[in-house]
Structures are given as C-alpha cells and as structure tokens.
Amino acid sequence: MAKPKQSAALGFIFVTIFIDVLGLGIIIPVMPKLLQTLGHINVNEASEYIGWLTFVYATMQLIFASIMGNLSDRYGRRPILLISLFGFGLDYVVMAFAPSIAWLFAGRIIAGICGASTSTATAYIADISTGNKRAANFGLVGAASAIGLIFGIALGAFLFVINIRLPFMAAGAFAFANALYGLFVLPESLAPEHRRKFEWRRANPLLSLLRIYKKQPALASLLAATAIVYVAQKAVEYLLSTFIYEKFNWTPASVGYLGLFTGLVLFAIQAGLIRYTVPKFGQQKNIIAGLVFYAVGLLLIAIIGKGWMLYLCMIPYCLGGLSGPALQGLASEKVAKNEQGELQGAFAILNSISLIIGPLLLSYVFFFFTKKSSGVYFPGAPYLLAAVLMLISTFMAIRSFKKA
C-alpha cells in the first residue's frame, strides 16, 4: 500500500486535532458566564460546575480512548477519525442550544467519546514518521493542540461578545467542515498487513497501562511523569479565565487577546523551535528543559499582582511545550508499528485521568482560597500547586532515563 503524502496527511491531522481541542478552548471563557446565566449563580460557584463538567468529559474519554486506539489498529485510522469528527459536530450543536445545565453535561458526554479519537490521530502521525522527524511531527500535533486550545479561548471570548451561544455554533461548523474534507481527501495510513485483531482485553484502559508497566518499566515511569504534567497543565487550560475574572476582573475580550498572544507563542515553539532543539539537544534534554519552564511559568502566574504580567508569564509556560512532543517521540520509539494505536491510547488514557483529577482538584483549591469564609484569599493557589507537580514530574522523568 502506498504511503500517504505526508504534507497533506499531516495537514489534515493538524486541523483535526486543532478542531478537537478548539471545542475545549471555546468553553473556557464562555462556560463561567453561561453557567451563571443558566444556573443563576456567581463565578465562584460556577468554578465547581466547571470541575464536574470536565470530570464527565474525561470519564467518557478514559473509557473510550483505549477502545478507539485499538479499533484503529484493527480497522485503520481513517474511519475512526471521520466518525469522531462528525460526533464532535453533534456535540457542539447540543451545547449551542442547551436550555439548562443538564444539557451541558449531555454535550460533554458526547464530546468525551469523540475526544478519544486523539489517540488515533497521534497513531496516524507515528505511522507516517520515522527518526527525529517523529518528535518534530509530534511537535506539530502539540502545536495543533496548543493553538486549538488558545484559539478556542480567543474565539469563545470574542464571539461571546456577540452572542453567548455563537462560539459553539462556530465550533460545530468547523467540525462538520473538516469531517467532510477528510471524507474526500484523507488517505489511510495503516496498511492491512500491519493491522491486528481487536481484543477487548487490550481495550481495557487500566489493563492497557498495566501491560505497558510489566513489559517496559522505564516507559511506564515516563508515562507516569507525563500524567502528572497533564494534571498540572489543567490549571491553565481549564481555570485561567475563571482566575482572571476573579483576580483581575478582566472582560472576555481581554481574555481573548491573552489567548491570541499565547497561541502565537505556542505555535512558534511547537511548530518551529522544537524542530531545531530536538535534533541539536536530544529528546531527554528537551523533556527536562520543558518541564522546568512549565514550573517557572506556573509559579509566576501564582504570585503576580498585575494582570498585564500574565503576558510575560506565558512565555516560560509556553516554552514548557518543548517537553510534550519529545515525550511522545521517545515513547513511540519503544513499541512496534501495530502497537502505536495502543500506545497513543495510553497517552489519551493518562490525559483523561488527568482531566478527571486536575480540573476537579484545582477548581476546588481555587474555590477554597477565594470563598468569603476562607481565612486566606489566594487565587493563585492552584498555580502554585501545579508548579510543584511539574517539579515532581521532572525528577520522575530523570529517574526513567536512568532506568532505561
């Protein structure tokens, strides 16, 4: 079977992951205000709902991530990606016309199932990449995730000014358009001879992680460090707009401008800089440097006193993006071609676990340190905790290198 043209395939995967994460980004600036409107509650109370909405999304993603990855190892990447994109479009329609908070939960259930396709998209990248290009191409995936999230935040903030439902309608239109585009142009990346039988035991998310631990302890340690990174990232990904509204009283448009700035910096790092740093310094040094940058950025967010300083804080935080593609590139080199879907499913499982733990934990930390009855008012507490978690993951990653 002929290899798909890499440029076209990478472009589609970039857009697919971009749209997957765009939906997450859109709800970040809009959701606190939408929850206030639908539930007649304040921002502090809305932070609790945000944690539970993310919990529901992540639970569905956890259940289905390994199933999607294993299905793609059996039937190919293309059909799984297309089905998921159409599902995302349906999710945004539900969210756009939700008459109550309960309907928002229904939308998050659909999104969680479809969001599990990220493992298939990253397996597609592994199929068509080799050597140092693999980490560089995972950098493009990281850039797509980062830009999708940040552009989603900006888009949600700007469209919210026009109509609070408009951001979800726009995201739905993007998802349906990309699904139709992929239907006609996306080639299959996994040749029939490299496919394997679908097995339910391998689709069990916990058994999948346990199997990796037994076969490759060093890889398991690396995945554990990645899980902690994912938890810490949720402080920015899911709590930043709530933090900004509470501490600096910004408008949604101001959040949008910060999102655009952050997206540009992330794109420059993950789509450009990492293509230079990985070949020059190697994957291990990129991982360590990125995790340290993450910790510095989160610490600065926790302690700043002026809103404009967030622009400065985002520079070291975005440099932390050097670690993600290097982590995935290093891990993907340790498994066979017909196990890439399972491995990327494991990454998606870890991300789902972090989504279950991270937003709920960090939103409750934020809620505790901002409620009126609290003895200490410190909105930056979740970011301080996240910085500590990044340092822990740094030491775990170093230990995994020594095991290897």
Is residue 196 included in any domain, yes or no? no
Q: What is the pLDDT of residue 87?
A: 82
Q: Is 327 helix (H, G, I), strand (E, B) or coil?
A: helix
Q: Is the pLDDT of residue 98 over 60?
A: yes
Selected residue with higher pLDDT from 120 and 368? 368
Is residue 197 included in any domain, yes or no? no
Instruction: Give the phi and the psi of residue 92 in degrees, each rounded to 5.
Output: -65, -35
DSSP classification of residue 5: P
CATH number, domain with residue 37: 1.20.1250.20
Burial of 211 (0-12, 13-18, 19+ CB in 10 A): middle
Is residue 281 included in any domain, yes or no? yes
Is residue 188 included in any domain, yes or no? no
Burial of 78 (0-12, 13-18, 19+ CB in 10 A): buried
Q: Is the pLDDT of residue 4 over 60?
A: no
pLDDT band at 383 (very low <50, low <70, confident <90, very high): very high
pTM of model > 0.85 = no
> Cα–Cα distance between 234 and 308 in angstroms, integer?
21
pLDDT band at 53 (very low <50, low <70, confident <90, very high): confident
56-70, 272-286, 295-309, 339-353, range with the lowest pLDDT = 339-353
Look up residue 350 and give its two tokens: 């870890």
Q: What is the pLDDT of residue 311?
A: 95
Selected residue with higher pLDDT from 260 and 258? 258
What is the enclosing helix (H) or strand (E) of 60? helix 43-75
Number of domains in the chain: 1
**Long-range Cβ contacts of 353-356 (<8 Å, 24+ apart):** 353/58, 353/62, 353/227, 353/230, 354/58, 354/227, 354/230, 354/231, 354/233, 354/234, 355/54, 355/55, 355/57, 355/58, 355/61, 355/62, 355/230, 355/234, 356/55, 356/58, 356/59, 356/62
The predicted model gives 325-349 an average pLDDT of 70
Q: What is the pLDDT of residue 314?
A: 94
Helix count (H) and strand count (E) of the chain? 18, 0
Task: Quick: pLDDT tens for 300-322.
Answer: 999 998 999 999 999 999 999 88
118-132, 166-180, 368-382, range with the lowest pLDDT = 118-132
Q: What is the pLDDT of residue 190?
A: 66
Under a CB-based contact definition with an 8 Å cutoff, are residues 72 and 119 in contact? yes
The CA-based angle 368-370-375, given to 5 degrees, is: 75
Q: Is the pLDDT of residue 390 over 60?
A: yes
Under a CB-based contact definition with an 8 Å cutoff, are residues 362 and 239 in contact? yes
Average pLDDT of the residues of the chain: 79
Measured over the CA atoms of residue 312, residue 259, residue 24 and residue 338, the dihedral's sign is negative
Selected residue with higher pLDDT from 386 and 209? 386
**Of 233, 28, 254, 279, residue with least CA distance to 132:** 279
Is residue 191 included in any domain, yes or no? no
Task: Quick: pLDDT tens for 180-229.
Answer: 877 877 767 666 666 667 666 665 666 666 776 666 666 777 788 888 99
Side-chain half-sphere CA neighbours of 253 within 13 A: 3
Is residue 62 included in any domain, yes or no? yes
Is residue 242 included in any domain, yes or no? yes
Q: What is the pLDDT of residue 97?
A: 86
Q: What count of other Cβ atoms lies within 10 Å of the Cβ of residue 83? A: 17
Domain that holds residue 163: 6-183+203-403
> Cα–Cα distance between 212 and 371 in angstroms, integer?
42
Is residue 28 included in any domain, yes or no? yes
